[in-house]
Amino acid sequence: MKHRISLTLMFALSVVLAAASVSAEEGGHAEVARQKWVFSGFTGQFDKAQLQRGFQVYKEVCSACHGLKHIAFRNLVQPGGPEFPQDAVKELAKTWPNQITDGPNDEGKMFERPPLLSDPIRGPYHNDKEARAAQNGALPPDLSLIARARNVERNPSWWVHPFLMLGDIAEAYQEGGADYVYGLLTGFADPPADFKLTDGKYYNKVFPGHQISMPPPLSDGVVAYQDGTPSTVDNYAKDVVAFLSWAADPSLDTRKRIGWQVILYLIVTTGLLYLGKKRIWAGIKH
Amino acid sequence: MGGHTSNYVPTSRWGKWMDERLPIARMMKNQFIDYPTPRNLNYLWTFGGILTLILVGQIATGVVLAMHYQPSATAAFDSIEQIRRDVNYGWMLRDFHSVGASMFFLAVFIHIFRGMYYGSYKAPREVLWILGVLIMLLMMATAFMGYTLPWGQMSFWGVTVITNLFSALDTIYNGLGTAIVEWLWGGYAVSGVTLNRFFSLHYLLPFILTAVVGLHIWALHIAGQNNPTGLDLKEPSDTVPMHPYATSKDAVGIFAFLLIYAWFVFFVPDYLGHADNYIEANPLVTPPHIVPEWYFLPFYAILRAFTSSFLGIPLGQYAKLCGVIAMFSAVIIIAFAPWLDTSRIRSAKYRPIFKWFFWFFVFTCVALGYLGSKPAEGVYVFAAQIFTVCYFLFFLAVMPIVGLIETPRRMPRSITEAVLGEGGGGLPSGAAAAPEKR
């Protein structure tokens, strides 16, 4: 019996190792430090106040260039997000600088109108070409999925790799994207002496190739927090990354909450089934 | 199906009426309740049930996802996000389906390694084994096409790279490869047309898969299950009825597996995927590393091991063709295992030399998977070439030769003896009812 279980485990482990060691994400940048996020790990949940501050940073800084097309204004009201009051969001939508192209109207003309709750949060540009024309050829990406569309590469030696992977799976780590965006926002620096920086580009420690077209967006004091949180670049970056992580994965809170119920149910059921199996097989040597 | 006498007795009038017309209840009772299963099956034998469950789950989640998905180059990516955000529990359906593909392969790899370890491919189970390889091929095709559907960067470039493999046939007959590739694409490049046909086929193949699984189970019930000793069933005391014995064990295996499955779905749904697939497909921007999903990586490593030379042998213009042939052969060769293995002993338990080679083969597959995730350069290519040779040598050299030179361990005469020790053969077992009262 014991032998049999250990054999099963050996099989399972070797295949899990295979799966784990090979799903190494490729990112190809300098080291990005892992941050502590309140929403990381298997118990982490979003912090409403942080999401609200993060949205403020997005609104006052990022939205000048970047859209958030998969998030509608109504999402800002929904549970599990920043949960702003509905009236405030309605007001916000009305005054949002980037209007919605609608139509055609009765004269057959397209027209611009302020967004409704059901409309997406648009960036300032109607299309990529307009964005590139305005941004000196660079394209500011839409940010709704940025926290999931980036990851951090780890390159340990081949024999450590599987164990790190198993560790990540066990602690439910999947905040590589958040770590990367945080690293990018706080990674602006003066280029090393021997680095040739192209005109109009900025040096960034974690951006691939280290030359980014985005000027450092954050500096101490640019956003005035109202809840007493210190107005530092570090806080801005953390908060806006938390907000973008929510934007990329708005069901995170529900997902983990249901997840625990499912896991608990499965553990109990597996245990009961095992006891039942033992009872059924009790009279039979096998 | 299986060769045991039926003891199904219909009790109701309707049951009798039905039994004379379509004896489906009789078949179910014979094949899935009374069916004699070896008494010594371990938990590795629960993976058949696990796989069946995943197949059903994939079809169920897939059918609902297809109600919300839009297979067009302009709408596909956004429709996946809409499923995640706006469809009730859409995020859960979607993650069950995408993680489900990984779990399907995880389970099928364990299932295949189990078959190899215990010699389940040997007579009289050759057809069963070949159907199994066919199932894996269908799974691969289905998974590959399914990965196209989110229309992210990795979807798009994965399809571009893999479909382009067929252009290697140009080196055999000029224009043949290009013609095939354009036929697959439905144009001169991967486009929305390609996406549409892949969606159609992704919906079709699982049903063909289900049919082949039906044949696989049929063939299984003709030959009977193998078991950890690899011995044939000889006496009634070698077996127990499928229900409640095998079923109770299957239930434990299935729920334990679901625990791992659920962990990925609810806590690390992105872990087995690739971040680049959250960027919408863009034919003008190539990702820095194009990597398939983890379950294809061993085969991908074999494909890429054939650079301009292979272990010093120059390949020239045939490099790509060799890689493609090697990659497909790596799957096909598994089907020939019944005839490549010369040993008449099934279970590696009694094969002291083969056992070590088997575990080295598992290591080879893991190593190839690791190398498939690495860029094809420098020492990685060399290592991939070495392990590619190891992979094929396992089938072409180890299986035929070890069977000839190996002295097997002493084997019990029957399963009953293996379980109860010598002379313990006569104990009652078999199809007695209410076993828990004994």
Structure confidence by residue, pLDDT tens digits, B212-264: 999 999 999 999 999 999 999 999 999 999 999 999 999 999 999 999 999 99
Residues of A in contact with B249 (CB under 8 A): 277, 281
In B258-277, the residues whose Cβ lies within 8 Å of chain A are: 258-259, 262-272, 274-276
Q: Please tell me the distance in Å from A11's CA to the nearest CA on chain B.
A: 7
Q: Is residue A4 part of a domain?
A: no
Contact A234, A218 (CB under 8 A): no
CB-CB under 8 Å, B373 with A24: yes
pLDDT tens readout for residues B17-69: 999 999 999 999 999 999 999 999 999 999 999 999 999 999 999 999 999 99
CA A101 to chain CA centroid, Å, is: 28
B251 touches chain A (CB under 8 A): yes
- Is residue B285 pLDDT above 50, yes or no? yes
**Which member of A21, A148, A250 has the closest CB to residue B275?**
A148
Task: Say yes or no for a CB contact (<8 Å) between B39 and A21.
Answer: no
pLDDT at B421: 82
> Which candidate in B240, B299, B366, B436 is best for mutational testing of the A interface (most A CBs within 10 A)?
B366
Q: Is B366–A21 a contact, with Cβ atoms under 8 angstroms apart?
A: yes
Among A48, A14, A104, A280, which residue's Cα sits nearest to residue B298? Answer: A14
The pLDDT mean for chain A works out to 91
Residues B302, B364: Cα–Cα separation, whole Å = 11
Q: Which residues in chain B have Cβ-Cβ distances shorter than 8 Å to A119? A: none
Å from B81 to nearest chain A CA? 7
Q: Give B175→chain A minimum CA distance, Å.
A: 35
Q: Give the pLDDT confidence score for residue B295 in this predicted structure.
A: 97
Given a cut of 90, whether residue B284 has pLDDT beyond it is: yes
Residue of chain B whose Cα is closest to the Cα of A2? B42
pLDDT at A8 over 90: no
Q: Is residue A20 part of a domain?
A: no
How would you classify the pairing of strands B36-38 and A202-203? unpaired
Q: What tens digit of pLDDT does each residue of A86-121 get?
A: 999 999 999 999 999 999 999 999 999 999 999 999
Give chain B positions within 8 Å (CB) of A42: 267
| Cα B264 to the center of its chain, rounded Å | 19
| Residue A263 placed within a domain | no
Reference A61, options A239, A246, A187, A248; nearest CA is A239
Percentage above 90 pLDDT, chain B: 92
The interface residues of chain B toward chain A in range 104-163, judged by CB-CB distance below 8 A, are 106, 109-110, 113-114, 117
A and B: number of Cβ contacts within 8 A: 173
The count of domains in chain A is 1
| Both tokens assigned to A133 | 């024309």
3-state helix, strand, coil split of chain A in percent (to 5) is: 45, 5, 50
Report the residue from A17, A177, A283 with minimal CB separation from B366: A17
Q: What is the dihedral of CA A215, A216, A218, A220, to 10 degrees?
A: -130
pLDDT at A24 over 80: no
pLDDT at B142: 98
Tell whether B373 is within 8 A of chain A (Cβ).
Answer: yes
> Is B245's CB within 8 Å of A281's CB?
yes
In a domain, A54, yes or no: yes
Minimal Cβ distance to A259: which of B39, B102, B267: B267
Whether residue A25 has pLDDT greater than 60: no
Tokens 């690739």 belong to residue: B274
**How many Å apart are CA B293 and CA B347, to the nearest integer?**
32
Q: Which of B40, B255, B373 sits opposite A273 (nearest CB)?
A: B255
β-pairing, A100-102 vs A111-113, is: antiparallel
Q: How far are the Cα atoms of B163, B217, B413 from residue B283, in angstroms, in the given order?
A: 15, 43, 64
Q: Is residue A282, in this structure, part of any structural domain at all? A: no
Q: Which domains does chain B carry?
A: 36-230+238-290 (1.20.810.10), 293-412 (no CATH)
Q: For the domain that residue A72 is a member of, what is the CATH number?
A: 1.10.760.10
Residue A122 inside a domain? The answer is yes
Contacting residues of A for B274, CB less than 8 Å apart:
25, 151
* CA nearest to B271 within chain A: A174
Q: Is residue A268 one of the residues assigned to a domain?
A: no
**Closest chain A C-alpha to B278 CA, distance in angstroms:** 5
- Asked whether residue A274 is assigned to any structural domain, the reply reads no
In the numeric block, which tokens belong to residue A222? 């640019």
Which residue is it, tokens 């040598």? Answer: B393
Measured between CB atoms, which of A15, A158, A258 is closest to B266? A258
Query: What mean pLDDT is predicted for residues A72-95?
Result: 96
What is the domain range of residue A126?
27-250
Contact B430/A at CB under 8 A: no
Residue A4 confidence class, pLDDT cut points 50, 70, 90: low
